[in-house]
Structure 1
Amino acid sequence: MPVNITTLGFDADDTLWHTERLFRLTEERFAGLLADYTDKNHLSERLIAAERRNVLHYGYGVKGFTLSMIETALEVTNRRVPADVIAEILEAGREMLTHPIDPLPHVEETLKALKPSYRLVLITKGDLFDQERKVTTSGLDVYFDAIEIVSEKSDETYRTLFSRHGTGPAEAMMVGNSLKSDILPALTAGAFGVHVPYDVTWALEHADEPHGIERFYRLDHIGKVPQLLARLA
């Protein structure tokens, strides 16, 4: 049965451009700084635990990640971490905040092809200043009718945004790499969900793929979204 989709929501990090790889590279650098105090696996476990605690206070993004690294460094060294290590962690965080934006394959041509026929809405979470920088630096902002930077992605978030910028969630589709943040809450809100997996997933974004939901689709790259829409029309 044909469906009428008027609005397309797109996640940003690891859907439109690379992000998680930079976090993992920085974590490798962090492990090297603390190698004299603990092994890499234990450090990773402590860091994830700190991020899980701190996301409620600092939100998502580089600043919260940097503070979590500092907290973890204090924990694993029993508060004896050298000042120069703290300085290195802070420098790593600053470098992340100025890192060039590297769009993923097929992204720009896909947005360009879809823009004439749909309302395109960028829906991302994280630090406001950093997300604004990435959106602008990417050059992809010209394709979007609206850009929403939110503190959390919930079913209510999608109901509100797809009603504000479109004709409601029933006629909207969310495209993203995170099942937990992009797909599952969008499906609960009544929208279509298109999962485009990225090769690295943050531990706090892991979730099981839904089954038996007709509005859920999985594509191996974003360039296949126009074909999916043509098939559904």
Structure 2
Amino acid sequence: MRARNFRVAPAGPQSGRLFRLVAFFARFQLRMVLRTTAHMGLVLGLFVGSAAVTSLVILTLGAYAVRLPFLFPPLGPSAFVLFHTPMSDRACPRNVLLSHSLSVLCGVGILRAVEWTGLGSVSASPEAFRTMWLASVVLSLGASVAVMLALDCVHPPAAASALIAAMGYVSNPAQIIGFICAVVLLTANAVFFNRVLGGLPYPLWRADPRLVRSYGVLAGIPSAGTGYWQELAATMITERRGS
């Protein structure tokens, strides 16, 4: 009988060095660690703290390199939202980019409108100046909230962007460009940390509602399923039905 020639099947991708290297580091991703650890709060705290600090350091180095202002107070709360509840709708890149950009433009636009009236200039009486300055701050906050709700791009820290713009801290084109670039850079850091180091399906633009509902704490959903305000509303509805 003739000996049959058996072909050896080529080695699959799982036997390659690159696959083994990726599999090794995947064990240290946030998604995998949370499945095995009994200290979820500690792990999340370390991840959020290290990611937020690293992102702000990158913003500082970027500002120094291009000579543009990158560090603004609203970016601190945004970093917390991006890394503490990355799977929530309010942490998706679309909401972060649109809300901050539109809010700072609202603040600058309203401040310019107040200055155009002449009542917000330093030449006006102190009472009129303080009144119009306060009006610009209040109007900019209301406008930013209205825009975020109208375009469905809610990101709470962005409301502070309208305030700092209305107060004159972001006014010239270089500062506006620097602020928007800082938001873009922070969002890019969130994509890297959450997708690569976290192993999470962090969205590249919009949040997927199905993923939001299935990620619990990482999506800002309390572990018990309802938060304080939801429980309070349910209690009030029950009391009204019983009365």
- TM class, shorter-length: 0.3 to 0.5
More helix by share: 2
More strand by share: 1
* Structure number with larger C-alpha Rg: 2
TM-score, normalising length: structure 2: 0.32
TM-score, normalising length: structure 1: 0.33
